[in-house]
Chain A
Amino acid sequence: MAPTVLTPAKPEVPARTDDLGPGGGSNGGHRFGDDGSGGYGGHAWSVPARAYRTGMWMALAAIVMLFAAFTSALVVRKGISNDWVRTALPNILWLNTAVLLLSSLTFELARRAFDAGGDLWVVRGTRWLYLTLGLGVAFIAGQLVAWRELAARGVYLATNPSSSFFYLLTAAHGIHLLGGIVALGYAAIIVRKIAAEPRKRIVVDLTALYWHFMDGLWVYLLILLTVRL
């Protein structure tokens, strides 16, 4: 069954009577000022929902560039040196990966519940969100366990170049995921408190986008660590 993707309704392009052509975003689509959530400014102008989407994609592009820089550093550092020592990956990483993949699934279940609408479904969806959040925290805890395991083996940040990269990449990913956990907590609160559909939806959708991206990024990093470390 195809997953139900919760995107804001397509921006409605107003019927044009002149030759103005497609102008900017504030011609159509959802705007938070119009959504009846109340108290947000006294006039019609507001930020279209797709600006938030664009902003999130741009943030993800910057994160891609950061990890691309780290990846090229790893490839070059390994390629030119004669001091490279393989760091065996702690086994718990596979469990962590499963936890994180599962969290993406529970996030989608939450979104499907919100999509169904109705108060009961909001309660259910929120539960899925909290479960997702719990799985995210579990993943971070699992990563810390992996660090402890390496430390117990006497492998620290500066022990050898491959361990430096292991700590660097897992830490950089973990910090980004912590940001996602904060956003997820905010989303879980906001879906209960605010009735306004478009705003709630954009918060949940963009957090989901970020969350799935962090999930995919981790799979990429795991492959990189397995193949190149």
Chain B
Amino acid sequence: MNEPSGNTAVAELFDAHSRVLLLYARQWVGMAGAEDVVQRVFVRLVSSGRLPAEPGTWLFRCVRNEAISYRRSENRRSRREQAVASDAMGWFVTHPGDRLDAGNAQAALETLSPDQREVILLRLWSGLTLSEIAGVTEVAVSTVHARYEAALATLRQKLENPCRNRKT
């Protein structure tokens, strides 16, 4: 743990990672739950008064553990509430200039297995290296690499040739 370099460091971490942390948390819980999870992690970070040695990795690991714990507690609630909350907002913000359609990208990502989707999210949007992802997901680097390659191939197949996929 490093000494805090002021509130600006946490603010920078929030600006840099909050969105991808939200998307990462949504792999386990709904939209409202993901908001709660990310909020709790940042509140914990601010309350501790110290910055971790590797803030990025620490944040994703915390969000992962918190989301899994949150999902266990959420199982007691009705699934309908979760579904409504999940559908309230998409994973991506739609822009006319995007090369890929946000809705299709989300749909393609949802078809991936949880392990592959986790690796893809962490690699593409968080900027973590494969070894850091291995540390967060607690698997070997080779496993992370294999999952990433497989997930990427599946996404390319679904997003670049959507019509062919629908026929098959």
A and B are partners in one complex rather than unrelated chains: no
Name A's B-contacting residues (CB within 8 A).
none
